[in-house]
Each structure stands twice: as structure tokens, then as C-alpha cells.
Amino acid sequence: MSIRTVHRIVVRGSRGAVLPLAVLSIWALATSHGWANREVLPTPVTVLRTIGNSLGDAWFWTSVGHSLARMSAGFLIASTTGLLLGVLLGASRWGARLGGPGFHAFRQVAPFAWIPLISAWFGTGESTKVVFIAVAAFPAMVINAIEGVQAVTRQHRELARVLEISRWRFITRVVVPGAMPQIFTGIHLTLVVSWLATVGAEYFLQIGPGVASILIEGRALVRMDLVLFGILVIGLVGFALNLTVRHLEALVLRWRPPSTQESR
Amino acid sequence: MNIQVVPSAPTIVAAGIGKRFGSNGSEVVALHGLDVTVQPGEFLSIIGGSGCGKSTFLRIIAGLETNDAGSVTIDGAPVRRPGLDRGIMFQDCRLLPWFTVERNLAFALTHVPKDEARARIADAIRLVGLVGFEKAYPHQLSGGMAQRVAIARVLVNRPRVLLLDEPFGALDALTKIQMQEELLRIWESERSTVILVTHDIDEAVYLGDRVAIMSNRPGRIKRFVEVDLPRPRDRTGAPFVSVRKQIFGEFFTVAEAQVEYQI
Amino acid sequence: MSSDATTGFGLVGTLGRDRAEGRSRRREAGWARKAGRVWRMARMGLEAVLAAAALPLLLLSFWHLVAKHHWVSNLILPPPSDVWRTFRDLLADGTIAGNLAISGTRVAKGFAAGGLLGLLLGTALGLSAACRAYLRPTFISLTQVNLLGWIPLLILMFGIDEPLKIAAISWATFLPVTFNTMQGIAGIAPKWFELARVYQVRRRDVICKVAVPAALPSLFTGIRSGLGAAWMSLVLVELVASSEGIGFMVVWGRQLFQLDLVLVAIIVVGAVGLTLDGLLRAVEWRLRRWQGAAA
């Protein structure tokens, strides 16, 4: 790494940090000078202490584990069923005509509206949460799978015919890699929605250990520091998930040319 | 049907032009020591391979880039920024896709009162033969038609100087020839000073009064070739071919036809 | 099967339909051709509608069977007739309309506020690289936290009354609108600005005639995402902290364990979502006429 690159990173990093640092300083000043109600706005130190305590607490880590487990279960269901349905709707014209409009209508229902119904049908245990996560995340996968399959254009098909490629070869060497980028986008989005749905289900159903319990507790006890900590955790997990998928994507899709940023 | 004759076409003098791209470390010298004087009403073709800096030179005259060394003057006045006295035509015709043909032309006439703008637009459309397509969107036009709109747009302001940056590069060979004829027809009615940049030898010789051959890295004019032929020119005639051969020889080694002797 | 039938179309036309059309074409004037085409289009439309309705109708009949034979308790899965009756009743006594109105105004206010702020900030960020350098990292980090994280915070700040809901909806709208606006404006190809320089176009015209149309597709994506987010956050907020509105209807039905009510509410939510989406698509299509095949 040349000195110039390091210099550039430092400058860019420091510029980005200006706003957060400013907010942090105002916050510290506000609390120390009592400009804001101590009850509502805790000092930064209080928040740090809460973070420190929780990180050392085993209960916190089990909660995170539970949330991630739920999310993974729902995510797996959503991505597999979504992929299958998406491939069906994308590849088969009759499939699209039969299932398309129904799916489109289903999509229109804001996902969280399903929670009460699902909880009525599946009780308030783990299954409700997992089912809800799957239901909420599943459309994202379907849409991207459809687009991925449709990306294999007529030209590719013609090429395969001209070169007399066997059907199996065509599917494995052309269709699957061709649809991969979009499928990966689908996986990415499904993961993001899964995490959102996990926190949502936990928050709404309020039973069982999970990350959302931090938020629930914070709200019930009117402890802003807990709430802020909860937000931090949610954000960091989401960020970590994003990063993981992005790296996986880069690894699997090495052949992709860098996309241009130009907007139409 | 003729656009009013433009005020007298100017002399363009470029002396010792130099231009660098990049900054401390990886620099590319695009132009160095480029000298050329274009006479009033002259049609100058500049020909060179890709990356020789010919487009950069044109953009300097247009005012879109600034030269690091040397000076460019038009009738003595130095060029610093873009202006309506110089019309530039891009290779990508660069029609705003969200405007119709009419409004694309109107875009070039924002400094002109509405009535006169309307009259000029009508004239220009008639001139390039696109009557009936005023309300068409660029995506509905063929390549040749889009370039014709670009020509119309470049002319509505009656610029004294026309700068053409590989205007027909994106067209197929047959349309290209058609457009070249169109361009000549339009130019001959008003005789502005024209600089055409191209990598097509035929185009350069067919259109230009003079052909400037540019060398690569650093970009400068290697040689001028006079095309002293009356228009309309015969592309297949011997005089044309001989001029073409001179230029061709600057870029490629000409395979000598074997002459057989019989005793 | 004379060669004339196929010659009428050149190389095309080996299908029986086309052959029949070829015969009628040869036979007489344009009206037969037009009638044939209209008939074909009507048939295609009918086919599409039938295909679309097939699956839902199948599900509906299956549902009816299940409820009728009590394969699942009627409490858990109320028969379609019950749902339909509840729907009619609630429509008649204005419950649906009333709740929709409340939810609708909330969404409208939140979407307007969030959307406007988003457009403004997004434009500022898009235009100025310096602005972006200072604000973008913070902004991206904020988007990492999904809406649910913000709700308790907002509750602590605004209580659980109307301001909370508007705030939540505005925030949910604000994020995608800002992001897409910023991308759209920052991503405008420089060649358009160069063109404007060449023609000495005044700044006001540059914004109206170049920047906005060029960024419009992205702006529209932002507004569409924003509306989707607004609607979704409305439902969420009403589920969690409300005593009226469509989202509340769902919870209310659940608490009374009247699943027919829940189903009616869900259907209404879906229908509204469908309408909004359709409306936006129509507007977008209209505005993007110029994109033609290159959409």
C-alpha cells in the first residue's frame, strides 16, 4: 500500500468520522451540563458501562445465539423454497402465468401483518417465529431467482444450440452461472429481510430469549441506554451479515466485470 | 431553405499546444508542441490512430479542456471556455434522451427569444431532412437520423467554427457515406471554418481541404497533405486514390505490387 | 395448404392459426384481418385472466372444503363465507373505511415528510462530493439498523401517540429516498453536464432540463421504495403501538381470536398495497416514455 493510498484512506475515514464525533461531543456535553433530562438521555459513559456489562454477561450471548439460530432456520426455509419457486416462475411460461399473479398479490401484504395470523395458527413458540421469518423473507428470494433465470437470454440458448451442447451441460455451464449473480443478490436480500423479521417477531411476540428482549426491557424500564445498546447490537449483526455475504459473493462470482456506476 | 451565411469564418491558430493527463506519478503526455493554423473557411481533417490526442486537441479548441502549454486563438482572441461561436459535434451524438428532437434543438437555443428559436429549429430540421420527426424521441431514431439531429443542433447557433469529433464513427459504412455528403452539402452553403477529427482515411480525404496527420505519444502534427481536388470528389478516381495512398503510407507499409519483367 | 398462404407472410406462418388468417387475408379486405387480430388479443387476455385466477380459485375451493368438513377447527380456519360476511359487515358499518382513513392519513403525512426531506438531503449529497464524504458513512451505518430497532427509541422520545407513528413512517421513508436520490444525482453521466456547458445553458435550466430527467429513474426507484417502506412501517407501528388503524384491526382480531376479522384486515392491507404499487407503476411508466426499449 503506497503512502498515497494510506493518506487517502485516513482523509476519507476522518471526514466520515466528523459527524459522529460531533454528535458524540454534543451528547456528552448535554448530559454533563444537564441540558437534557438524565432520565431520558443517559450519559455516554452509562451506555458504555451497559455495553461492557452485557458483553460480559452470558445471558446476552445466549440471546444473540437464539436470535441467530431462529434467523438461520427461517432463512434456510425461505431461500430454498424461494429459489425453487423462483426458478419455476422464471423458467416456465405456464408456471409464470399460473403462479405469478397469485405470488404478486401475496407480496403486497406488508409482511408484519401476517404475525397475528401465524401466531394464532402456530402458537407463541419458536415455530411461529421461524414460520414468520420464512414468510417474510421468501418473496425476496423468489423475485431475484426469477430475474436470475430470465437473465439467461435467448442469445445464450441459441449459442448452446449452435454448438450442440447437451442439455445437462447447458444447465450447469450456462444457466446456473448466468443466474448466479442475481441469485446471490437474492440470498443477500433474503438474509437482510430474515434478520429484520427475526427482530420483529421477537419484539412482537415477546416470548423467549432473543436480541429484541434488550429493546423490550429498555422500553419497559424506560432505560435509553439499553435501547441504544439494543440498536447497536441489531445494527452490528446486520452489518456483519452483510459483510459475510458480500465476501462470499466476491469469491463465487470472481468472473463478474466490475459494475459501472452510471445511472440512466 | 438556406441558413443565413455566418459572419465571416475566423482563423484558428494553435501554437505549441501541450497537454498532460494524470498527476504526480503516472502522467501521460497527450499533446506536445502541436502547431497548426486553420485558414478562414477551411475544412481541415485531422487523422490519427486511437489515443493520439486528436480528440483532446479538438476539445481544447472547444474550450472543454485547457491546454498546459501553448495558446489557441480564434481571430486573435484566446480560447478559455466553451462558447456558442464554436459548435462541437460528439461521436456519441449526445442527444438528451428525455427530449424530443424539437426540444433537443431548443436546448441549444436557450439564449435566443422563443419565436426566433422556433424559426431556427424549423429551418434546421428542414435542412437536415428530418421534417415530420420533430416529436420523435432519440431512441426512436436510427443512427444516421440521430446524427442528423446532432448536426442540426450544432448548426442552429450558426457557429463560426465547426468542430467534429469522429461524428460518423458509430455509423455503418453506407450511412457514413450518405452523412458525409450531407455534411458537405450543408457546409458548402455557409463555409464556416471546420476541423474534423477522424480515423477514417477515406473520410479525411473526401471532406477536407487539407489533411493533418497526427502522430502518437506525444501527439503532434507530423505532416500536412493538401487535397487540391475540386468537389464533388470521385472516391474511386486516380487523383483521390493517390492522395489517399500518401496518407495510407504514413500508417502502414504499402505492399508493392510485384512488377514482372518479360524479356 | 397452398403456398399462397405462407407467401403472405414470407417465412413466418406455419401455425394453423396463421394459415387460417392467411386464407382470410387472401379472401377479402382488411376488416377480416382486423377481426382476426382482435379475436386473438381477446383470447390472449382471457387466457391470462383464467391462468391467473386458476390457482387462487383452487385454493379457495380447497379452503372451503376444509372449513366445511371441519378438518381443521373453524376457530383456526374460518370458512370463506364467514370471512366474506365479516368483510361485508365491516364495510357497511364503516369500520374498514374509518380505519383505512386513519392509516391512510398517517402514511400520507409520514411519506410526504420523509420523502421531501429525503429528496432534499439526497440532492445535497448527490451534488456535493464534500457533503458525501462527511455524511455518507454515518448515513450508511444508520441504514444498517432496521426499523424495528428504531421503534423503541422513537417510543421513548415521542410516546405512543400520533407523533410516534408519523415519525416512524417518515424515518422509514426517508432512508431509501435519500439513498436513491443521492445515487441518482451523483451518478449522472458527466457528458450531459459537458453538453450543457457547450451550449452555455443557465444553471436553472441545467437543473430542470438535465439533472432532474437524468436522475429521474433513480428518484423514482427511491420514491417507490419509500412508499413501500412507508406502508410497511405503518403496519408495523400499528401492530405494535396503536389503538386504531388497519394494522390495529389485525391485532384486535387476534386478541379476540376472531380470525375472520384478522383475515379481512390482511386482505385489506394486501389490496391497498396492490393499489399503491399499481398506481406508482402507472405514473412511472408515463414519465419514462422516453426510455423506450432501453428501460
In a domain, C74, yes or no: no
Pick C201's closest partner by Cβ from B110, B140, B157: B110
pLDDT digit string (tens) for C234-289?
988 888 887 788 888 888 888 888 888 888 888 888 888 888 888 888 888 887 76
Contact C292 B140 (CB under 8 A): yes
The pLDDT assigned to A52 comes to: 84
Mean pLDDT score, B87-96: 89
Contact A113 C234 (CB under 8 A): no
B66 CB within 8 Å of a chain C CB: no
Pick B110's closest partner by Cβ from C197, C199, C216: C199
In a domain, B148, yes or no: yes
Which pairs count as long-range contacts for C267-273, CB under 8 Å and 24+ apart, including other chains?
C267/C83, C267/C87, C268/C96, C268/C100, C269/A109, C269/A110, C269/A113, C269/C235, C270/A105, C270/A106, C270/A108, C270/A109, C271/A108, C272/C100, C272/C231, C272/C246, C273/A107, C273/A108, C273/A109, C273/A110, C273/C231
Question: Total structural domains in chain C?
Answer: 2
Partner A, chain C 209-248, Cβ-Cβ below 8 Å: 214-215, 217-218, 231-232, 234-236, 239-240, 247
User: Same domain, yes or no, for C254 and C130?
Assistant: yes
User: Same domain, yes or no, for C18 and C150?
Assistant: no
- Whole-angstrom CA distances from B223 to A248, B34, B213, B214, B218 are 56, 11, 5, 7, 14
The pLDDT assigned to B131 comes to: 92
Please check the confidence at residue B87 and state whether its pLDDT lies above 60.
yes
In a domain, B131, yes or no: yes
Residue of chain C minimizing CA distance to A107: C270
Mean pLDDT score, B113-132: 91
Please check the confidence at residue B6 and state whether its pLDDT lies above 70.
no
User: Same domain, yes or no, for B23 and B149?
Assistant: no
- Let me know how long chain B is: 263
pLDDT digit string (tens) for A146-189?
888 887 767 777 777 777 777 777 777 777 777 888 888 889 88
The pLDDT assigned to C23 comes to: 62
User: Same domain, yes or no, for B201 and B166?
Assistant: yes
CATH number reported for the structural domain that contains residue A54 in this entry: 1.10.3720.10
User: Same domain, yes or no, for B144 and B227?
Assistant: no
Compute the nearest-CA separation of C33 from chain A (Å): 28
Partner B, chain C 209-248, Cβ-Cβ below 8 Å: 209-210, 213-214, 216
Mean pLDDT score, B90-105: 89
Pairing of strands B210-215, B193-198: unpaired
Q: What mean pLDDT, rounded, does chain C reach?
A: 81
Domain boundary among B158, B177, B212: B158
Of A230-244, C78-92, C153-167, C278-292, the range with the lowest mean pLDDT is C278-292
The pLDDT assigned to B149 comes to: 93
C126 CB within 8 Å of a chain A CB: no
Residue of chain B minimizing CA distance to C201: B110
Q: Percent of chain B, pLDDT > 70?
A: 92
User: Same domain, yes or no, for B203 and B239?
Assistant: yes
- Which structural domain, as residue segments, surrounds residue C21? 3-68
Compute the nearest-CA separation of C198 from chain B (Å): 5
- Of these ranges, B49-53, B81-85, B255-259, the one predicted with the greatest mean pLDDT is B81-85
Residues of chain A with Cβ-Cβ distance to C218 below 8 Å are 263-264
User: Same domain, yes or no, for B180 and B79?
Assistant: yes
pLDDT digit string (tens) for B192-243?
899 999 989 999 999 999 999 998 877 888 889 999 888 889 999 999 999 9
User: Same domain, yes or no, for C117 and C47?
Assistant: no
- Of these ranges, A64-78, A102-116, B6-20, the one predicted with the greatest mean pLDDT is A64-78
Pick B64's closest partner by Cβ from C197, C202, C289: C197
Residue of chain C minimizing CA distance to B106: C199
In a domain, A164, yes or no: yes
pLDDT digit string (tens) for A118-138?
888 888 788 889 999 999 999
Residues of chain C with Cβ-Cβ distance to A189 below 8 Å are none
Q: What mean pLDDT, rounded, does chain B reach?
A: 87
In a domain, C88, yes or no: yes
User: Same domain, yes or no, for C64 and C90?
Assistant: no
Please check the confidence at residue C89 and state whether its pLDDT lies above 70.
yes
3-state secondary structure chain C: CCHHHHHCCCCCCCCHHHHHHHHHHHHCCHHHHHHHHHHHHHHHHHHHHHHHHHHHHHHHHHHHHHHHCCCCCCCCCCCHHHHHHHHHHHHHCCHHHHHHHHHHHHHHHHHHHHHHHHHHHHHHHHHCHHHHHHHHHHHHHHHHCCHHHHHHHHHHHHCCCHHHHHHHHHHHHHHHHHHHHHHHHHCCCHHHHHHHHHCCCCHHHHHHHHHHHHHHHHHHHHHHHHHHHHHHHHHHHHHHHCCCCHHHHHHHHHHCCCHHHHHHHHHHHHHHHHHHHHHHHHHHHHHCHHHHHHC
User: Same domain, yes or no, for C138 and C234?
Assistant: yes
Residues of chain C with Cβ-Cβ distance to A107 below 8 Å are 273
In a domain, B5, yes or no: no
User: Same domain, yes or no, for C56 and C200?
Assistant: no
Residues of chain B with Cβ-Cβ distance to C191 below 8 Å are 90, 92, 94
Partner A, chain C 61-120, Cβ-Cβ below 8 Å: 76
Interchain CB contacts (distance < 8 Å): A and C: 160
| Interatomic CA distance for residues B89 and B105, integer angstroms | 13
Compute the nearest-CA separation of C197 from chain B (Å): 7
Question: Total structural domains in chain B?
Answer: 2
Contact A264 C48 (CB under 8 A): no
- What's the ipTM? 0.80
CATH number reported for the structural domain that contains residue C173 in this entry: 1.10.3720.10
Contact C290 B94 (CB under 8 A): no
Of A204-218, C7-21, C245-259, the range with the lowest mean pLDDT is C7-21
| Interatomic CA distance for residues C277 and C223, integer angstroms | 11
Residues of chain B with Cβ-Cβ distance to C215 below 8 Å are none
Residue of chain A minimizing CA distance to C145: A235
Among the listed residues C154, C80, C103, C159, the one whose alpha carbon sits nearest the alpha carbon of residue A113: C103
Q: Percent of chain B, pLDDT > 90?
A: 38
pLDDT digit string (tens) for B244-256?
998 988 888 766 6
Residue of chain B minimizing CA distance to C199: B108
Domain boundary among B158, B179, B197: B158
The pLDDT assigned to B150 comes to: 93
Confidence bin at C37 (pLDDT 50/70/90): confident
C202 CB within 8 Å of a chain B CB: yes
Residues of chain C with Cβ-Cβ distance to A263 below 8 Å are 183-184, 187-188, 214-215, 217-218
The pLDDT assigned to B257 comes to: 64
Residues of chain B with Cβ-Cβ distance to C214 below 8 Å are 98
B74 CB within 8 Å of a chain C CB: no
In a domain, C77, yes or no: no
Pick C145's closest partner by Cβ from A110, A222, A238: A238
- Which structural domain, as residue segments, surrounds residue B71? 12-85+160-251
| Interatomic CA distance for residues A89 and C92, integer angstroms | 39
User: Same domain, yes or no, for B80 and B171?
Assistant: yes
User: Same domain, yes or no, for B167 and B137?
Assistant: no
B82 CB within 8 Å of a chain C CB: yes
Q: What mean pLDDT, rounded, does chain A reach?
A: 82
Residue of chain C minimizing CA distance to B153: C199
The pLDDT assigned to A23 comes to: 83
Residues of chain C with Cβ-Cβ distance to A219 below 8 Å are 152, 155-156
Mean pLDDT score, A40-66: 83
Pairing of strands B69-74, B210-215: unpaired
Pick among B88, B107, B142 to test the C interface (most C CBs inside 10 A): B107
Domain boundary among B111, B138, B158: B158
- Against chain A, the chains showing at least 3 CB pairs within 8 Å are C
- Which structural domain, as residue segments, surrounds residue A202? 43-252
User: Same domain, yes or no, for C31 and C104?
Assistant: no
Contact C199 B107 (CB under 8 A): yes
CATH number reported for the structural domain that contains residue B245 in this entry: 3.40.50.300
User: Same domain, yes or no, for C108 and C250?
Assistant: yes
Compute the nearest-CA separation of C215 from chain B (Å): 11
Compute the nearest-CA separation of C187 from chain A (Å): 5
In a domain, A115, yes or no: yes
Please check the confidence at residue B162 and state whether its pLDDT lies above 90.
yes
User: Same domain, yes or no, for B148 and B168?
Assistant: no
Compute the nearest-CA separation of C292 from chain B (Å): 6
- Against chain C, the chains showing at least 3 CB pairs within 8 Å are A, B
C200 CB within 8 Å of a chain B CB: yes
The pLDDT assigned to A217 comes to: 84
User: Same domain, yes or no, for C103 and C57?
Assistant: no
Pick B94's closest partner by Cβ from C195, C200, C293: C195
The pLDDT assigned to C3 comes to: 40
User: Same domain, yes or no, for B16 and B46?
Assistant: yes
Note whether C109 and C166 are within 8 A (CB). Answer: yes
B142 CB within 8 Å of a chain C CB: no
Residue of chain C minimizing CA distance to B159: C199
Of A72-81, C27-36, C118-127, the range with the lowest mean pLDDT is C27-36
B107 CB within 8 Å of a chain C CB: yes
Partner A, chain C 150-169, Cβ-Cβ below 8 Å: 150-153, 155-157
pLDDT digit string (tens) for C165-224?
899 999 999 999 998 998 888 888 889 989 999 999 988 888 888 888 888 888 888 888
Pick C205's closest partner by Cβ from B81, B88, B110: B110
Mean pLDDT score, C48-77: 82
Question: Total structural domains in chain A?
Answer: 1
User: Same domain, yes or no, for B201 and B220?
Assistant: yes
In a domain, C151, yes or no: yes
The Cα angle at residue C231 between residues C230 and C235, in degrees rounded to 5: 115
Pairing of strands B43-47, B28-38: unpaired
The pLDDT assigned to B207 comes to: 94
Contact A263 C149 (CB under 8 A): no
